[in-house]
Amino acid sequence: MNMYKLFVTVALVCIMAVGASPSFAADPTSSATQTASGNVTSLVAITTLWNGNEGSDIDFGNLVANNVATTFSGNETVKDYSNVPIALSTYASGALSGSSETIPLANMLYSDYGNSVPDTAFTTTPSAVKTWDTPDQASTPTTPVTYKITVPWNTKPGTYTTTIYHVAQAAT
C-alpha cells in the first residue's frame, strides 16, 4: 500500500508541475517591426594639409631677402568634407610680421585652387577662390593651393608670421 501512495503522490506532483508551467506554441510567422529614421543635417567642413599633414601649420622654411618670388606649389591642399555645395574663400590676418619689420601683403600671393585662380595678393577680407558641388559619398574632393612669397631686399633676418584663413560657407 505504501508503494501505491508513493505512486499516486508522484503522479499528482507530475500533473501539477505540467499544469502549472505555461506552454508557448512557436509561430514561425510572428514578427515585430519598427520603422527607423534619422534626419541628416547640412554639414560644411573643410581642412587644410601642408605637405600632406592635415591641420599642420605652413612652414615656408628659409626665405632669401632678394626681392624675387619664391613659389610653393604642391605643398598646400584644401579638402572638402561637406555634404552641401560650398563656396571657398581665403584671406590673411595681415602682413608677415617679424620682430621689427613686415613683409607686405602685396608680397604674399595665392593661386590655383584647381580653378586657374591667377596670382592674387592676399587681403585681410575674404576673397572667393572656388565653389564645390556636393560630392558623392565615395569621394573627398581636394584642391591644390600655390603660394608665392617675395621678401624685399634688406629685410632683417628672423621669423615672420601671419595667419592664412580658408573659409567655407554653404553655397547659395
103-148 tens-digit pLDDT: 999 999 999 998 779 999 999 999 999 999 988 888 889 999 999 9
25-52 tens-digit pLDDT: 666 788 899 999 999 999 999 999 999 9
Q: 2: which DSSP letter?
A: H
- Under 8 Å between Cβ of 129 and 146: no
Write down the pLDDT at residue 30.
82
More reliable by pLDDT, 69 or 138: 69
Q: What is the DSSP letter of 68?
A: -
pLDDT, residue 23, reads 56
Residue 88: per-residue pLDDT:
97
Q: What are the extents of the domains in the chain?
A: 46-170
CB atoms near residue 147 (< 10 Å): 21
Region 51-72 average pLDDT: 95
Per-residue confidence (pLDDT) for residue 146, from 0 to 100:
96
Q: Which residue has the higher pLDDT, 62 or 134?
A: 62
Strand-pairing partners, residue 37, are none
DSSP 5-43: HHHHHHHHHHHHHHHHS------TT---------PPPP-
Average pLDDT over residues 3-25: 51
> Whole-number mean pLDDT of the chain?
88
Ramachandran angles phi, psi of 52, nearest 5°: 85, 0
Q: Span 46-170: which CATH code?
A: 2.60.40
Q: Which helix (H) or strand (E) holds 4?
A: helix 2-20
Q: CB of 143 within 8 A of CB of 74? A: no
Residue indicated by cell numbers 604674399: 108
Supply the pLDDT for residue 25.
60
pLDDT at 2: 58
Cα(92)–Cα(154) distance, integer angstroms: 24
C-alpha cell at 101: 619689420
